[in-house]
Amino acid sequence: MTDAPSLETELERARDLSVSDLADAIESIGFECTRCGACCKGHEREDGAETEPHTATVFPDEVRDLQAADDAPESASDYDWRDVARPMPYGLDDGDDGPTGETFEWALQTDACGDCVFYEEVGERADGTAKGACQVHEDRPLICETYPFSVALGGTSQPMGEAVDEAGMVRAHECEGLGRDISRAEAEELASALKTRAIRELEEAIGVRDNYAPTDADGVVVYDSEGPKRPDGTPVSDDA
């Protein structure tokens, strides 16, 4: 059996990716955002029991960028970590006093409906369905900027389940905008962001691994590349 490539090996592969080749792949698949909002909203579970909240990964520095975003719906002075991000729920348990356990990523914060807190509906599309918009579009995280695509490298994330199409190193995930014409300039811009995201995901994964130090802190602990944190983004070591 062949051992899986190390994160460092995958990081070097990510750094060597050709933006032109990625753009070729994106062009061959095709994409145009239809502003349906599906990638920003919660989703019904297959059993129909309840809504699955939106879970888009956000890096620690992206959280800080969103706190200070010029187009954020509140001023940076009023906008704390928990307004932007929440612990990724995977791996957490429901305790008597709320969630407990360890997780290794941050997810964009959601509202009471399970939608991204930055998502808003701004009118109707031609088919009568709601038109979606991002309140922090210019400062949106890389995973949002590059949706519905990901790169087929170990250590990188796949948004919203398995790929429905692929070309070369590029995977495409469920989205009604797939298969539509895209200009070369737009494909190259998307490809550049996709390469950046792949590099950042692997750097974050390496940082999480290298900075992991078990803690016996109660409640929820998020281990990111900067070390263990509380749900409000403060380091566990700062606990009184």
CA distance 149 to 84: 23
Share of the chain above pLDDT 70, in %: 91
Give the C-alpha distances (Å, rounded to integers) separating 119 from 55, 89, 123, 127, 168.
13, 20, 13, 20, 32
Query: Quick one: pLDDT band at residue 240, thresholds 50, 70, 90?
Result: very low
pLDDT tens for each residue of 163-214: 899 999 999 999 999 999 999 999 999 999 999 999 999 999 999 999 998 8
Q: What is the mean pLDDT of residues 41-52?
A: 71
Does the global pTM surpass 0.85? yes
Q: Is residue 1 part of a domain?
A: no
Q: How many domains does the chain have?
A: 1
Residue with tokens 């599906």: 38
Taking alpha carbons only, the member of 207, 203, 146 closest to residue 171 is: 146
Quick one: what percent of the chain has pLDDT higher than 90? 70
Contact 167, 194 (CB under 8 A): no
235 belongs to a structural domain = no
Q: Is residue 207 part of a domain?
A: yes
* Cα dihedral 221/223/224/226 (nearest 10): 90
The answer to whether the CB of 175 falls within 8 A of the CB of 38 is yes
β-bridge pairing 57-58 and 170-172: unpaired
Mean pLDDT score across all residues of the chain: 90
Residue 180 phi/psi, 5° resolution?
-95, 155
Maximum Cα–Cα distance across the chain: 56
pLDDT at position 49, please?
59
Residues ≥6 apart with Cβ < 8 Å to 234: 81
Structural domain for 169, as ranges: 7-230
Q: Mean per-residue pLDDT for 75-83?
A: 73
96-150 pLDDT, tens digit per residue, is 888 899 999 999 999 999 999 999 999 999 888 999 999 999 999 999 999 999 9
Model confidence band, residue 68 (pLDDT cutoffs 50, 70, 90): confident
Question: Higher confidence at residue 3 or residue 141?
Answer: 141
In a domain? residue 2:
no
- Whether residue 190 lies inside any domain: the answer is yes
Q: In this structure, is residue 237 part of a structural domain? A: no
Output the pLDDT for position 236. 93
Let me know: does 149 contact 190? Beta carbons within 8 Å.
Answer: yes
Considering the domain boundaries, does residue 239 fall inside one? no
- Residue 218 lies inside a defined structural domain of this protein: yes
- pLDDT average, residue stretch 3-15: 92
pLDDT exceeds cutoff 50 at 76? no
